[in-house]
Amino acid sequence: MKQHTLLALSLFFIPFSPLYGTELQMGGFIKANARYVEGNLKFQDSWTGGGSFADNTKRTQFSAQESRVNMTITSNEVQAFAEIDFVGSAQGNPIISNSYSPRLRHAFISYQGVTAGQTWSTLVNTSTFAETADLGGPLVGQAMIRQALVRYDTAHWQFALENPYTYGTQAPEQASAQTKFATALTSTEPLWIDTNHDYLPDMIVRYNQSGDWGNVSISGLLRYLDSADTAQWGGGTSIAAKIHSIGKDDLRIQLHYGHLGRYVGTDAARDITDGQLENSLSVMFAYRHFWTQHTRSSIFYGHTSTKVEQTDRSHFGVNLFTNLIQSLTLGAEIGRYQMQDNITSLVPTVSQPRATQGASNYAQVSLQFHF
């Protein structure tokens, strides 16, 4: 019986044995959060550039959904990476068991400078993300998007074709008769653009430079949006940098301008608003200071404003992190998220009324174990 068991186990592990030149590495972290929000913008697990209005709200939530697991598989010159977490799941609820389904973050293959699959957009410089307890930090002012793509990397240059998608609304006169009829009974619903005609990939070129001083990236984006109706070309540029300061301190900066839409600010800007290309200006900065070898703080700010829809959204915060041991981090953060929009043309949906003037303060404590 023992021989049969050993044989079965050996067969199970053969695909990852050194005989085939394949290595498997597991990683990730377990993260526990306690979050309190008070203000006239409804509670969110993290501030993602959008929000809905409430007269006054106070809410505390405990969560472990941000925990994630990943694996890296390497075989000769081929490397594959996959990662999941549990954020945004519609499955669990606090009434029964808080059972949340996994979501795909990354799944890609790299071979001889070519990357194919789902991962961070080429526009995203992850080294410039602020260290925050709030998931993603000041998302409202930074490039923060993962999607399917094909990319070629050299020492300093990156060239990519990425998944096309037009996020936005049609002008009333552009809407088809069928769309108008479908929304006739719910006139407060915006006329969302039909994405069935997004057929040209988004094109991104990026230049990277790094040294002892830090790193900087400059990216350009070219897009063909809403091809079925208005058929407009859009473009934008992005600059991101991480600059080393005194001691272990660092400054992280992002600046974005143009028709970047869903690429920047998460839900702070659309690609097209009422049939017009949306133009957005976004900025993010964060300064991290080390008090001791294991204790540090970050102060951060993110902001996005748009020209057509006239949204104006910002996120400010300050935090303190300390490593209890090398793999275990305790953090505390306070911050404020606000919307100072001047929306005049768009009407709210029935289920998600659009806030125009609102703000909420939050406090968050997190405990994160890396493995």
Alpha helices in the chain (DSSP H): 2-13, 177-183
Give the pLDDT of residue 352: 45
3-state class of 182 per DSSP? Answer: helix
DSSP string of 198-238?
Answer: --SPEEEEEEEEEETTEEEEEEEEEEEE-TTTT-EEEEEEE
Q: What is the mean pLDDT of residues 49-72?
A: 93
Residue 6 CA, distance from chain mean position: 45
Q: Alpha-carbon distance 300 to 285, whole Å?
A: 6
Q: What is the mean pLDDT of residues 323-348?
A: 86
- pLDDT: is 62 or 355 the higher one? 62
Q: Alpha-carbon distance 163 to 108, whole Å?
A: 14
Q: Alpha-carbon distance 226 to 168, whole Å?
A: 9
Specify the length of the chain in residues. 371
* Residue 53 CB-half CA count within 13 A: 13
**Given pLDDT bands bounded at 50, 70 and 90, which one contains residue 9?**
very low
Give the pLDDT of residue 175: 55
Burial of residue 98 (number of CB atoms within 10 Å: 0-12, 13-18, 19+) = middle
Burial of residue 175 (number of CB atoms within 10 Å: 0-12, 13-18, 19+) = buried
Q: Alpha-carbon distance 163 to 133, whole Å?
A: 30
**193, 169 contact by CB (below 8 A):** yes
- For the cut 80, the answer to whether the pLDDT of residue 208 exceeds it is yes
DSSP character at residue 48: -
**Given pLDDT bands bounded at 50, 70 and 90, which one contains residue 197?**
confident
- For the cut 90, the answer to whether the pLDDT of residue 184 exceeds it is no
DSSP string of 281-326?
Answer: EEEEEEEEEESSSSEEEEEEEEEEEESSS--EEEEEEEEEEEEEET
Q: What is the mean pLDDT of residues 110-127?
A: 98
pLDDT tens digits for 221-273?
Answer: 999 998 777 889 999 999 999 999 999 999 999 999 999 999 999 999 999 99
Q: Alpha-carbon distance 102 to 67, whole Å?
A: 10
**233, 222 contact by CB (below 8 A):** yes
Q: Alpha-carbon distance 247 to 316, whole Å?
A: 25
Tell me the pTM: 0.87
DSSP character at residue 284: E
Phi and psi angles of residue 212, each rounded to the nearest 5 degrees, phi first: -65, -20
DSSP string of 131-148?
Answer: --SSTTSSGGGSB--EEE
**262, 280 contact by CB (below 8 A):** no
**Given pLDDT bands bounded at 50, 70 and 90, which one contains residue 97?**
confident
Share of the chain above pLDDT 90, in %: 74
